[in-house]
Structure 1
Amino acid sequence: MPLPTSRELFVASCADSSSYPKNLLQTHKFEYTLNAYSYRLSDEKDNLFRNDKQSIFIWDLVDNAEAFNLSPNIESLQQLKENVNENTLDPQCRFVFLRTFNHRERMCCTFSQLTYLFSYHQVMPSFLDFCFELRSREDPLSTTLFRQEDYIGQRYVGTSLEHLGRSGTRLQHAFNILGFDEKSSHDYNWPLRYITVYHSFDIKLGRSFWIIIKGDGAMKERITTSTRKSQKEDPCAMKTPTGAFVASLRAHLLILEWCTHHWNDYIDYLDFRSKEPSAAVTLSPVSEIAKEFPDNWAQLRRASSIATGRSRRATGLSQHTGNGESSIMPKLLTRLSDGLSRMAPGLSAQARPPMQQSLPGAGSSQTPAQPENERHVQLEDIFTFNKLQTLHKLSSEVDKANMIIEQNKRILVLMREKYKALSESDDFKSLFDFKSCEADFIDFLHQIRNLESDLENHQTRLRTLLRKLEKDEALFTGVLQYQSMQTGEFFAKSADTSAARMEEWTIKMHDIAARTEQETVAMSVITFFTLVFLPGTFVAVRYGIPITGTVATSILTRSQTFFSSNIVKFDNSKSGNFGDWELQMSALKLFLTMSLPLMFITLFVWAVLRTYAGRKRRVKLALAELPLIEKPKGTTFGTLTVFR
């Protein structure tokens, strides 16, 4: 059975396009890698393709044509097959423009369209690494890649597809670059964009193929305009392999230049945004403002204390009517707002009108504006946390921009190194007349080097701006730390002053306690003697003891004290120091019999109560001094616990 021809194999490959890249006729990838690519492409097709919107344009320059031809928008697989045409020669140059819905969305084509296009042009499998990144995402694409798979040498001539005009020897590479579009810079909105490119060049026959994927039509317009102009100026330029090679080099430069555009404007924009927080941190009189903190804090405390006192008195407003309520409350709100304005300017202005409008008569109270020279400017007014966040965000943006330029520069270096190695390859020179285009080739390498130099200049500016932002951020943090230090020093001094006052008050309280102790001793003595004489006084009073009233009627008199009773009788007519007096022993015995037991009983009860109270107090103090431990099980009697 004869082996199938290359044409038959190609037709079978296109028919089995859904298994791409396993259906490729030629690749350097291993079988397991192809299987992994095919499985992932099929598994993630819902996240990679938009079946409801297709945007595919083909820009062809066929053999013997004088100009390029742009196809209509291809919206179906059948239209795609009609445009590529499996039975005719490949065009001398073909650009396929694919679009994504936007720079964070999927490709505007179907799974079958993409796999058929890649199968027809035998696109290298590693180009799928770029396609897998073109999916729905929250953040724009920010990574660059470079892939290549070349077939250079006589050994690849046998894999030709003559019916399509393919020699089997070709250069293949793919890359993506990042940058900004021109229209996005008009409104100071700088979203990150990307361009994904695949290029194939037939070394022997000079046929080139491009796939350009971008979120808009800017690159399509740029390429169609440039190639149309070049073809018009020199219609025969691309009819030879060397002319087509030079044209492909120019197309590379046209695409690669895009990643160097608008960086100056973007860096100027970042620098402009950094001026406000930078000026605040470098030009503000930090030391003078920080020194005013104690005075401002003292005034704030006085304002708060006044407002608090008024707010306490304001609790009786409901008892007043008329002008009393409308005159006191607005003053209170004004004072509160003035106090808050020192801490957060603008806060009271935002909060006061709604409060005043909700009160009766508040609209008639007009608060005069505070003079500008009396406003207390604090560090919190200048060095807000929002400005620190702005500095941090700017630093992140500058760092990210520096990273993007570094990635673009790496793509340029890889491109330059590839073509430089190509110019030194004997296999390449054996298939291609390199000397006839050597000057254009050297100019291409110089142009690539110039693009690298431009990116390095932008990188230098970004690094300078980044160092400036880092210094400003460090100084900003230092200002906040200095403010904290000044605040801590102020509160430390306040604490020392408060401690001294407390010590003074403690000494005074100790003196008061000593005097109180002396007075307590005196009161104890007075209490003791009061208790001693109280029973006798009680007994001496007439009818003091009703039970003995009938027995002592002859002894007790109507007098109310001991010496005015009949126990002692006085005769003032006789002379002497004490006069003449007579003691009634029976009355005295009765008095002592009744008063002495009462006196001892009273003293005993007082002593028992005093002892119990002292013991109870000592137990409470002892329990309070014990460490906090789990209470053991026991039986509690009052405040005492009996341990088991």
Structure 2
Amino acid sequence: MPPYLPLPTAFQKSYNERDSYPRNLIRRTVSTYPSALAAYASRLDFAAPNLFETDVKKLEVPIRDLKTDNGNGKDLDKFNIQTPEELTRWFGVKIVQDPNDPENPVVAVQQKDPKCRFVYIHGANSRARLRITRSMLLELFTFHQVMPDYLDFISVFGLQSEARDLRFSSFREQKSLKLPHGASGVDSLGRSGRHYQLCYNLKGVNLKYQDLEDPGKSQWSIRQAAFYHQLDVVGGNVLWIVTKGGLDVQQRFKELTGTGARPEDKAFGTSEECFRSSLSAHLLFCHWSTEDWRGYIKWLEYTIEKDTEMAVLGPTGKGQHHHIYTARDIQHLQRWAEKVREVTSVLKANVDVMTSLRRFYTDLRSNEEFPMRKSCGDDISVFASQLGNLIDDFRLQIDRADALVRITTDRTELVKQHRLERLNLNMENEAIIVRIITIVTLIYLPATFVSTFFSTEVVSFDDDTPGGSFSNAAMMRWVQVTLPLTALTIACAYIGKSMAERRSQRQVLPMDTDDLHRFQWISEKWNWRPRVRKELSLQDIKV
């Protein structure tokens, strides 16, 4: 068994304070000042209850270490970490006594970093907790000194009822290609201290449920994955940390580096070979994000066409069979339009990330501090060209989605027009009915008035008075009651109208300084009274 080698003092301090990550990081940049690190820690505290698994029986963190020679003839070590103790043993970390100071325990390691380490953090699905504890994550990130930006990428996962922060997309990078003055690497881990690290996320789509009888009832889901990558530009040591719901991306990486893979994709002998293999992994993840988008957009086109074809092709003549559109149909079309816009937004985000990834590596090719700029320059060119093909394919899908957005918007307006036309037809029918009722009322109103008036005591008919009798007292009482009630009704209506107008005048916009000066000038010129000034609206002033 190899002896344990002590780690540098600064690294020991950082490892012992791993629960305070990311405030315990050794190397810091301008963007990782103390308040920024404290903000990262606060966001992690907020997300932790729903982000990390609490049931120890469900913990599982697959790790694959690819090596050129580990002493036993194997070039691959793999294990599913299920406890924090197993993770510590896998790193080869142990607290030992300092030979020079037996009372001072030190943090030591038994082995160096492998040429390529792949860590897969996942949940049972995209809306479940990650199957890792917080302490395990902080130990992993501290041991490999992971840039704190990756916390933003993994915080979108965890327990949730609906996919959250789906529009979040970013690309972060951090270069340390030159050692600062007085700094050194970690020799006991095989780290030169000269490295670069980057993290980004990509989004793909997959078919959750397929209904062969009615394709419109099929279900699609947009899923995202977060990727972290670190490469030592001297030794070539590579680190991958991938976070996603489900195990599909891990399976793809197995195929990339498995027995049936291309030799150049799984060669980790020299630093150049490690670099080329990392480019292949980037392309693998980018290819994953391009799959099934064509099928998803095709399904959206079919569904929208099915819901709106009667609006375009259906007969609209009177007496012909046609679909009656309701407000619910407009809601459905609005939902489809939002889904298509979501597709456009996600595809553009993927394009931006891939463009940033291509720019990062093309910049490396011209960076004097990058030792492999000449030996791997052609590989970077090929990588940039292949990324360009993926970006072009995405842009074609974006154009297709934009066209579908326009079609959906136009057909939504057409459905609204059909609905408005039907409402107008109903209003015309109702207007005819009201006209008939008005005519009938005009015919019967004189007779009704005469009958009502003659039923009072003003005019009475009896057998003793031929031709009837007229009562002046009854006539006066009828006038005395009818006219005041009529006046009171009119007065109440006028008061209600005046109150509504005053309430409307109070709801005017507040004046800015220029409008206030104009108001004062006009009021002084016309000598308005204060009451008039108070009731003057902003609209009146501007007129």
TM-score range, shorter chain: 0.7 to 0.9
Report the Cα distance in structure 2 between the residues aligned to 1:214 and 1:615, rounded to whole angstroms.
92
CA contact (8 A) 2:326 2:419 kept: no
Change (3 A) 1:468 1:77: same
Contact between 1:68 and 1:228, CA under 8 Å: does it hold in 2? no
1:434 aligns with 2:373: yes
Q: Is the 8 A contact 1:57 1:97 kept in 2?
A: yes
Indicate conservation of the 8 Å contact 2:236/2:270, yes or no: yes
Q: How does 1:93-108 map to 2 (within 5 A)?
A: 93-108=116-131
Give the Å deviation of 1:513: 9.0
Structure 1 pair 156–466 and aligned structure 2 pair: CA distance change class (3 A): farther
Q: Which residue of 2 aligns with 1:210?
A: 240
In 2, are the aligned partners of 1:55 and 1:109 still within 8 Å (CA)? Answer: yes
| Closer, same or farther: CA 383–38 of 1 in aligned 2, 3 Å | closer
Q: 1:63 to 1:616 in 2, by over 3 A?
A: same
TM-score after normalising by structure 2: 0.77
Shift of 1:258: 1.0
| Residue matched to 1:393 | 335
Residues 157 and 135 of structure 1: CA distance in aligned 2, closer, same or farther (over 3 Å): farther
- The residue type equivalent to 1:385 in the other structure is A
Aligned-pair identity in percent equals 25
1:578 aligned residue = none
Structure 1's unaligned 5+ residue stretches are: 293-376, 532-605, 631-644
Alpha-carbon offset, residue 386 of structure 1: 3.2
User: Hey, what does 2:478 align to over in structure 1?
Assistant: 617
2:464 maps to: 527
For 1:80, the equivalent position in structure 2 comes to 87
| Structure 1 position 158, deviation (Å) | 3.3
Is residue 146 of structure 1 aligned with residue 171 of structure 2? yes
Q: CA deviation at 1:67?
A: 5.5
User: Given the alignment, which residue of 50, 69, 89 partners 2:76?
Assistant: 69
1:470 maps to a residue whose letter is T
Structure with the larger strand share: 2
1:173 to 182, 198, 206: 198
- Which letter maps to 2:200? F
Shift of 1:174: 0.6
The 1:156–1:391 alpha-carbon spacing in structure 2 relative to 1, beyond 3 Å, is farther
Q: Residues 196 and 230 of structure 2 are in contact (CA less than 8 Å); yes or no, is this contact kept in structure 1? A: yes
After TM superposition, list the pairs within 5 Å mapping 1:4-23 onto structure 2: 7-23=8-24
The 2-side partners of 1:496 and 1:144 are apart by: 62
Measured after TM superposition, the shift of residue 183 of structure 1 is: 6.3
Q: Which moved more, 1:412-421 or 1:146-155?
A: 146-155
The 1:499–1:60 alpha-carbon spacing in structure 2 relative to 1, beyond 3 Å, is: same
Question: Which residue number corresponds to residue 403 of structure 1?
Answer: 345
Q: Deviations over 1:308-342 (max 9, x none)?
A: xxxxxxxxxxxxxxxxxxxxxxxxxxxxxxxxxxx
Inter-partner Cα distance in structure 1 for 2:155 and 2:326: 43
Deviations 1:444-488 (A, max 9, x none): 001111111111111111111111111110000011111122222
- The equivalent residue for 1:113 is 136
Distance 1:190 1:478, change over 3 A: same
Please, which of 417, 421, 437 is the counterpart of residue 498 of structure 1? 437
Distance of 2:177 and 2:483 partners within structure 1: 100
Q: What SS does structure 1 have at the residue aligned with 2:231?
A: strand
How far is 1:68 from its partner? 4.6
Name the SS of the counterpart of 1:505 in structure 2. Answer: helix
- Classify the secondary structure of the residue corresponding to 1:435: coil
Name the counterpart of 1:58.
63
More helix by share: 1
Per-residue CA deviation, residues 354-394 of structure 1 (Å, 9 max, x unaligned), is xxxxxxxxxxxxxxxxxxxxxxx5x6x53233332221111
2:174–2:196 CA contact under 8 A, matched in 1: yes
Q: Is the 8 A contact 2:268 2:274 kept in 1?
A: yes
1:552-590: CA deviations, max 9, x gaps? xxxxxxxxxxxxxxxxxxxxxxxxxxxxxxxxxxxxxxx
Any idea what SS the aligned residue of 2:200 has? strand
Cα RMSD over matched residues? 3.0
Task: Report the Cα distance in structure 2 between the residues aligned to 1:528 and 1:243, rounded to whole angstroms.
Answer: 129
State which drifts further: 405-414 or 150-159: 150-159
Return the letter of the residue paired with 1:26.
R
CA displacement at 1:232 relative to structure 2: 7.0
CA distance in 1, matches of 2:59, 2:383: 35
Provide the rounded CA distance (Å) in 1 between the counterparts of 2:427 and 2:242: 62
Which residues in structure 2 correspond to 1:250-265 (within 5 Å)?
A: 250-265=280-295
Larger CA deviation: 100-109 vs 189-198: 100-109
Q: For residue 464 of structure 2, what is the amino acid of its counterpart?
A: T
CA contact (8 A) 2:118 2:241 kept: yes
Normalising by structure 1, what TM-score? Answer: 0.65
What is the identity, as a one-letter code, of the residue corresponding to 1:146? F
Give, in whole Å, the separation in 2 of the partners of 1:625 and 1:423.
93
Distance 1:469 1:162, change over 3 A: same
2:139 partner letter: Y
- Specify whether residues 58 and 502 from structure 1 end up closer, same or farther in structure 2 by C-alpha distance, changes over 3 A only: same
User: What's the secondary structure of 2:63's corresponding residue?
Assistant: strand
* Equivalent in the alignment of 2:367: 425
Amino acid at match of 1:399: R
Query: In terms of mean alpha carbon deviation, does 43-52 or 212-221 score higher?
Result: 43-52
Cα offset for 1:6? Answer: 6.2
Query: Runs of 5+ in structure 2 lacking a partner?
Result: 1-5, 94-108, 213-217, 493-543
Q: Does 1:238 align with 2:239?
A: no
Query: Are residues 1:275 and 2:305 paired?
Result: yes
Rounded Cα–Cα distance in structure 1 between residues aligned with 2:425 and 2:120? 64
Question: How much does 1:155 deviate?
Answer: 3.5
Give the aligned residue type for 1:132. S
Q: Tell me the amino acid that sits aligned with residue 262 of structure 1.
A: D
Q: For residues 530 and 390 of structure 1, what CA distance do their matches in structure 2 show?
A: 74
Structure 1 512/441 Cα, relative in aligned 2: closer, same or farther at 3 Å?
A: same
- Counterpart residue number, 1:357: none
Query: Which shows bigger deviation, 66-75 or 122-131?
Result: 66-75
Which segment is superposed worse, 19-28 or 495-504? 495-504
The size of the alignment, in residue pairs, is 455
- Letter of the 1:118 counterpart: F
Q: What is aligned with 1:350?
A: none
Which residue of structure 1 lines up, in the alignment, with residue 411 of structure 2? Answer: 472
* CA distance 1:274–1:246, shift in 2 (3 Å): same
AA of the residue aligned to 1:462: A
2:355 maps to 1:416: no
Equivalent residues of 2:333, 2:412 under 8 A apart: yes
Check conservation: 1:67, 1:228, Cα contact below 8 A: no
| 1:526-605 equivalence runs, <5 A | 527-528=464-465
Please give the per-residue CA displacement for 1:42-63, whole angstroms capped at 9, x wherever unaligned. 4542222112121201111124
1:218-259 CA-to-partner distances (Å, cap 9, x unmatched) read 111110111124777369832111111010000000011111
SS in 2 for 1:627: helix
2:112 is aligned, of 67, 79, 89, to 89
Map of 2:186 onto structure 1: 161
- Higher Rg of the two aligned structures: 1
Structure 1 residues 484-523: Cα deviation after superposition (integer angstroms, max 9, x where no partner) = 2222223223323332333233456678899x79xx9895
> SS of the residue aligned with 1:209?
strand
Contact 1:156 1:169 (C-alpha < 8 Å) held by counterparts = no
Partner of 1:353: none
